[in-house]
Amino acid sequence: MSNRYFNSDRNHETYYSQSHSENWEHGGPSVGGNFQANASGYFNQGQSFGRGRGRGRGSHPPGLSGKQIGLFYRDKSKKKAEKKDTQTYFSLNSSVERNVESFLDKLKTPYTQENNGNDDTTMKNNKLQEKYNCIQDSHFKRKYLDIVSGNIQYNLTKSMLLSSKLHQNEKLDEQLLDKQKQRQGLDGYIKMMKIREKLPSFKMKDKILDLINGNQVVVISGETGCGKTTQVAQFILDDEIERKRGSITKIICTQPRRISAISVADRVAAERAEELGDSVGYQIRLEKVMCRDYGSILFCTTGLLLQFMQGDPALRDYSHIILDEIHERNTESDFIITLLKQVIQKRSDLKIILMSATLNSERFSKYYNNCPNIHIPGFTYPVDDYYLEDVLELTRFRFPPAPKLPNNYKKHLKKFKEIKNKVSDYEGFIEPALRQMEHEKIYSQHVINELRNSNSEVLNLDLIQSLLEYICQTKKQGAILIFLPGIIDITNLNKNLLSSGYFNSNKFLIYSLHSRLPTNEQKMIFKTPMNGVRKIIIATTIAETSITIEDVVYVIDCGRTKLSRFDVNKNIETLEPEWISIANSKQRRGRAGRVQTGEYYRLYTKAREMTFDQYPTPEMLRTPLDQVILKAKILQLGQITCFLSCVMDPPEDRAIELSLDLLRSLNALDSNENLTPLGYHLAQLPLDPRTGKMILWASMFSCVEPVFSIAASLAFKDAFYCPLGKEDEANKAKLELGMGQYSDHIALAEALRQFERAYHYRNAGHFCSKFFLSQNTLKLLMDMKKQFAKYLYDMKFLDSDNPNDAISNRNSDNLAMIKAIVCAGLFPNVAIVKRTGKFPALKTTEDGNVKIHPSSINAKANQLPTPYVTYFLKQKSTAIYLHDTTCVDEAALIFSSSKCSIKRLGPRSQITLNDSISFLCKDSTADMVQKLREELDKLLEYKITHPGTISLDSHGGLVIRAIIELVSNANIQSPNY
């Protein structure tokens, strides 16, 4: 990918004219009126976003007096200084401006609105018919209006009229029964059956089947090791085949994670003495081994079941739905549990089995009108429990001294306040427990002293290493599973163990397990090592449920997990370690003792455990609801507040409103909460709204291949990894792929582009090794790009379903255009560069100072070439970090912004995009920008409702060429006065 257009040596200076800053502060005459182009750019709402005239210079709000007046003017001056500090001057080379104007001058013919056929759509809503009367494409219009004017009850009724793949076939039923009898005589089946018969669930087989056969909805709870995940679906299938109903039986069993779906499917196929693809299959995103359409069990992720329901809301091709691990309360499972309540009203023959690993089954039973539930006791070998006090007694470990306040510390300083409050809170919490310990005299004074140290509740990797050495030196053979909060902790512990000299590769196999690993690498944990070699697995919560690592004997639990939470007051996501729940602890304990007596080491005290919540917070209460709302809309579930009020734990109204606001700003929803044409397209894509918008724009601006690569990486995972001890080499490799563009997104696109070429020439392994890339992840990303191309081809946005098609990639070498499209998808996620010298400082309007995450290309940049940085994710952990960043200029922001107003300020104009972003320019430049934005709005509105490719010589093609000219050749210069 050559850098044909982008010039990174951009000089920009802050414009400090006091008089003009005052004009800006107090308003001014508008040039050509105000106009809006929403973040998606698809509809011009005709709203005014110009700033009103401010108060007179000497006035202040009424009711202030004394110090309050002084503080008011201080804050006002501070805001004014900040505005001056970030305001830049936007100028275009005269030849560029002439070129853009020449394209605009040729715009004479309006868009041709050809009627491709008679529109016989039955309108269910006159207002919608009138609003979208301009849409002439009958095929799109029919599908779109069916969605926006329909409802779930009508949709279910229509779905019930569709034919099902499940038809009673006596001959087929006999064949399935004969095949089952033959299989039961196989040695492999007999051997597996002996293992299955020992499971507690097998002993309750008849009770479970009687309950399922006699009721439409059943809740099954089971302790760890009871076998419910692998056995219940088999009980149902075998029973249906024996009753000669195999031809009308297809069971779908959902799992919360990809690795769970694959590993459970593997295990069930093995127990049935079959290869995957016969009566057992799995389907996860981009990977599947499909089973037959009848007499079978399909394991899939929860999200895929929701996708199936978009095409067939009544799930006519399935006889039984098993929702496993519902106690985890992820958003998708809660969504499906709520939706299925409506489905079963239409499908009395559909069986729903809800399976939970813990004893909170009463809540699920009550939610389904007190449906019956059954509990399966667990089976594990005895597990010995140890708490932190026991671990300290065994290892004699000493924590580093707790932080002490200096004698002359200043009480008002935030950092000292935090230290003092933390120490004080811990002492108030732990002292009663320590006094009880001293009274009972169970533990030595060493343990008491160490627990008085507040650092005993700080995650300490040295303590884990000390405990590992103790286990390896004193305990019998068996794998060790360690639970840590996140990837960084896993990496650091792995690094410490490898560098210690004790855990050498001859005696130890150390594996990491987390969600960002490709599934083939995750599968490595199931392999049993050679005799004399101990396996150590360092994992996140992913190892808690659904997967069974048979040889684990020892579990070390730090007692913490990283949960994403959404702060509705600050409108920011946080990702910080927090204490687990009792349910989590129970699951982790259950990982030990599967093959012999086990041991469970908690790195927290008994006293701390007493403060744990019983169950984890449902995901729907702690994450944004954007995608939930789009899914609800495409499934025609009506007003979202009404639907979400029906879930087991309804989210806050404020959280719902924030997501609705975002979707309205993206123009995915209109003011009445209906899907817009753009929203309809975004809801059809298996992407969040921002990445969905990127690929739509990429199709219209003919830079499909690189933008699809970026969207796939953001939606799934990027392929870069950082091996222990080679962090500097990995960072240099990523920088090389970034090609000096100050963009993680360009690096992602370039990595996949070069991989595809290396893969073609059978050199992929060497390439991935050189640039520290996961080959399996890159293969999955390649498949995702093909899926995107097929989606857009089916939606008529592309002429070819090949993402590498030449016509679809006419502008794929234009890196400036690619970055502008990324910015358009991510806007308003833009941070302002406050200082461009060594160690650039950034801020956002909502949060103030922010930092670029260390994993970003731009994290160590001494100087950033542009005054703005767009980012994919803003997340608070130890600081507020921006993830996946790209430096962008004013031209990209003009192209991307949700609002744009222009004001005349004396001899020049001001372009304002939002409260924090504005810049000065010549009047002629402002006029040109306004005209171009108006034409862009018209083009995008037309294309989103009349999907099709754009000829370069057409009216729309001229607008596209003008935008490319602007974005590719814009430059930032100091004002020339």
Per-residue pLDDT tens digits for 148-167: 777 888 888 888 888 888 99
Mean pLDDT of 410-438: 71
- How crowded is residue 583: how many other Cβ atoms within 10 Å of its Cβ? 23
Per residue in 754-778, pLDDT (tens digit) is: 999 999 999 999 999 999 998 878 9
- CB 400, CB 455: distance < 8 Å: yes
pLDDT exceeds cutoff 70 at 639: yes
d(CA 496, CA 932): 57
Average pLDDT over residues 874-893: 90
Here the tokens at position 419 are: 């230290």
Which residue stretches of 866-918 are H helix?
Answer: 890-896
| β-strand partners of 909 | 904, 921
Residue 88's SS3 state is strand
The type of residue at 285 is: R
- Among the residue ranges 363-372, 742-751, 868-877, the one predicted with the least confidence is 868-877
Contact 482, 534 (CB under 8 A): no
Q: What is the Cβ-side half-sphere exposure of residue 451, based on CA atoms within 13 angstroms? A: 30
| pLDDT at residue 673 is higher than 50 | yes
Instruction: Return d(Cα 135, Cα 113) in angstroms, integer.
Output: 8
pLDDT at 4: 33
At 290-334, the pLDDT tens digits run 999 999 999 999 989 988 988 889 999 999 999 998 988 888 899
Using the predicted structure, report yes or no on whether residue 171 has a pLDDT greater than 80: yes
Read off the pLDDT of each residue in 211-216 and give the average, rounded to a whole number: 97
What is the pLDDT confidence band of residue 671, given thresholds at 50, 70 and 90? confident
Please list, in sequence order, all residues whose beta carbon lies within 8 angstroms of the beta carbon of residue 964, skipping any fewer than 6 positions away.
701, 811, 814, 817
Higher pLDDT: 747 or 501? It is 747
| Dihedral, CA of residue 100, residue 106, residue 107 and residue 113, to nearest 10 | -130
Residue 375 reports pLDDT greater than 70:
yes
More confident: 939 or 524: 939
Helices (H), 246-330: 258-271, 302-311
**What pLDDT, on a 0 to 100 scale, did the predictor assign at position 559?**
95
Cα gap 743→885, rounded to integer Å: 6
Of the options 1.10.1660.10, 2.30.42.10, 3.40.50.300, 1.10.3720.10, the CATH number for the domain spanning 170-376: 3.40.50.300
Report domain extents, the chain: 1-113+653-703+810-977, 126-159, 170-376, 385-619, 705-809
Question: Which of 363, 446, 450 is closest to 401 using CA atoms?
Answer: 450
Is residue 877 scored above 60 in pLDDT? yes
Token pair in block for residue 630: 């789009």
Tell me what pLDDT residue 645 has: 93
**What's the mean per-residue pLDDT of the chain?**
82
Using CA atoms, how far apart are residues 463 and 448, in angstroms rounded to an integer?
A: 16
Quick check: 706 pLDDT over 90? yes
Which of 20-34, 173-187, 478-492, 937-951 has maximum average pLDDT? 173-187
Q: What is the pLDDT of residue 55?
A: 36
133's CB contacts (< 8 A; 6+ apart) are: none
CB 430 within 8 A of CB 607: yes
State how beta strands 560-567 and 534-539 pair. unpaired
pLDDT above 70 (res 79): no
Q: Where are the beta strands (DSSP E) in 797-839?
A: 830-835
Q: How far apart are CA 67 and CA 902, in angstroms?
A: 37
Query: So what's the pLDDT on residue 56?
Result: 38
pLDDT in the model for residue 414: 52
Three-class SS string for 174-207? HHHHHHHHHHCCCHHHHHHHHHHCCCHHHHCHHH
Stronger pLDDT, 898 or 244, i.e. the higher one:
244
**pLDDT above 90 (res 901):** no
pLDDT score of 287? 82
Q: How confident is the model at residue 677 (pLDDT cuts 50, 70, 90)?
A: confident
Strand 280-284 with 287-289, pairing = antiparallel
Mean pLDDT along residues 495-499: 90
Interval 282-293: pLDDT, tens: 998 768 999 999
Give the burial class of 130: count Cβ atoms within 10 A of its Cβ; 0-12 exposed, 13-18 middle, 19 or more buried: exposed
pLDDT of residue 405: 57
For domain 385-619, which architecture applies? Answer: 3-Layer(aba) Sandwich (3.40)
Pairing outcome for strands 841-844 and 830-835: antiparallel
Give the tens place of pLDDT for each residue, 334-352: 999 999 999 999 999 999 9
The pLDDT of residue 28 is above 70: no
Q: What pLDDT does 135 receive?
A: 57
Which has more pLDDT, 119 or 485? 485
Question: What's the confidence (pLDDT) of residue 24?
Answer: 29
Residue 579: strand pairing partners: 560
Mean pLDDT along residues 223-233: 89
What token pair was written down for 548? 């069974």
Residue 30 has pLDDT above 80, yes or no: no
839: left (phi over 0), alpha (psi -120 to 50) or beta: left
pLDDT above 50 (res 168) = yes
pLDDT band at 63 (very low <50, low <70, confident <90, very high): low
CA atoms of 238 and 254, how far apart (whole Å) = 19
- Segment 383-401 shows an average pLDDT of 95
C-beta of residue 132 within 8 angstroms of C-beta of residue 145: yes
* pLDDT value of position 417: 57
**% of residues, the chain, pLDDT over 70:** 83
Question: CA-CA distance, 898 to 665, in Å (whole number)?
Answer: 7
First CA to last CA distance, the chain? 39
Q: Are 749 and 817 in contact (CB under 8 A)?
A: no
Measuring CA to CA, which residue among 555, 618, 562, 572 is closest to residue 256? 618
Distance of alpha carbon 11 from alpha carbon 867, whole angstroms: 10
